Amino acid sequence: MSAVNRAAVEAVLRQYTDPYLNQDPVSAGCVRAIDIQGDRVAIQLELGYAAGLFKSGWAQMLQMAVEGLDGVASAKVEIDCVIAAHKAQAQIPGLANVKNVVAVASGKGGVGKSTTAANLALALAREGARVGILDADIYGPSQGIMFGVAEGTRPKIKDQKWFVPIESHGVEVMSMAFLTDDNTPMVWRGPMVSGALLQLVTQTDWGNLDYLVIDMPPGTGDIQLTLAQKVPVAGAVIVTTPQDLALLDARKGVEMFRKVNIPVLGVVENMAVHICSNCGHAEHLFGEGGGEKLASQYGVELLASLPLSMVIREQADGGKPTVIAEPDSQIAMVYQELARHVGARIVLQEAVSQAMPNITISDD
C-alpha cells in the first residue's frame, strides 16, 4: 500500500467539476485544508455561494472518490458555505448590513418577474443564506401578497429613522405596499418614484443579509437608472418569455445593465412550455427556445426554464410561492438550481473582474 500525499488527493479532486462554478474544487480555490494522517484523509472545502441543499451530496461524492485512492482507508469531506460581499459598480458605497444585491428585471410586464424574484429569494434562504427582498415596483407592488403579508400591515419604525422589514417565510420583506393603501394607485412622476426607491433601500434596517433581491419594475426607465447610479448591484437576472416581443424588450434590459456596468448573471425563461393537465400534451404557446437564444446572443447563462403552470400562479397568489408550498416538487427544484447558479455567477463575475488587467493610457 503506497503512502498518500496531498498531490494525489488534489489530483482526485481535479477530476470532479462543481456544476455551478464549472470548475473542479482545486482550480476554483475551494480547498481550505487537506489533512493526511496515515491512511486517513480529512478535507475542508469552502463554497462562496449558498448551497445548503447541495453540499452534502457533493461532499459524499468527493469522499467516495478519495476513498478509492490507493492507500486511503477512510476519508472525510466537510463543506462550508461562506458568502462574501462582492464587487459592484465603482464608486458606489455598499449598503449597511447587505453583502450582495441582486436585481431581478424584465423588459416588459407580465413575464413572471415578481414570481421569479419571490421564489429566488425563498430558494436562497432554503440554501442557508440570510435573504431580504425589496419590492421596487413602486407602481405595482406585489411581494406583500406573494409572501402572505396581511393587508394593512405596517413596518415598525426604529430610532425614528429606519423601517424594520417584515419577516415572512424566513425572508425579510420591504415594499411600498406596506406604506400605502392597497387600493390607492401611486400617481407619481419619475423623480418621486426614484426618491421613494432610494429611501426604501437606504432607510430599511436590513439584518446582516447575504443577498438582497430587488424586484424591479418592468422597463428601462428612471427607477432602473437610479438603481444603477445609487445602489451597489452585484448582478442582474433578466426574466423573459419565449415570445418574440418579450425577447425584444429583454434585449433592451440586458443592454441597459451592460451600459451601466452591472453584470448580467443570466436569463430566466418563464412560460417555456404548457403541459395539458388532462392529456399531458406539451405545447410551446409563446414560442420555443427564445430564452436560450437570448442567453447565447449575449454570452450569458440560461439560468432556468420554467413551464406555464397554473400551480405556480395559484401558490404565489395564495402567499406561499412554490418553493415554500411544495419544496420537494420538480418546479421548486428548478428554483433551487436557479438560486445556486445566481450565487455562483456572482462569485465567478468577481473572479473575472479581478483577472482583467488594468489598461492605462499615457502620453508617451
The CA angle 116-118-122, to the nearest 5 degrees, is 115
Residues 182 and 77 in one domain: no
Residue 88: inside a domain: no
Which phi and psi angles does 342 have, rounded to 5°? -60, -50
Domain span including residue 35 = 6-81
Residue 51: inside a domain: yes
Share of the chain above pLDDT 90, in %: 49
Q: Tens digit of pLDDT for each residue in 329-344?
A: 999 999 999 999 999 9
Distance CA 307, CA 6 (A): 46
Residue 90: inside a domain: no
Residues 66 and 192 in one domain: no
Q: What's the pTM? A: 0.89
Residue 44: inside a domain: yes
Residue 286: inside a domain: yes
pLDDT of amino acid 183: 60
CATH code assigned at 51: 3.30.300.130
Distance CA 201, CA 195 (A): 10
CATH code assigned at 298: 3.40.50.300
Residues 119 and 71 in one domain: no
Which phi and psi angles does 157 have, rounded to 5°? -110, 130
Q: Tens digit of pLDDT for each residue in 90-125?
A: 667 778 899 999 999 887 777 889 999 999 999 999
Residue 363: inside a domain: no
In the chain, the number of structural domains is 2
Residue 221: inside a domain: yes
Q: Tens digit of pLDDT for each residue in 174-204?
A: 988 887 765 655 556 666 777 778 888 888 9
Task: State the pLDDT confidence band at 356, using cuts at 50, 70 and 90.
Answer: very low
Residues 70 and 120 in one domain: no
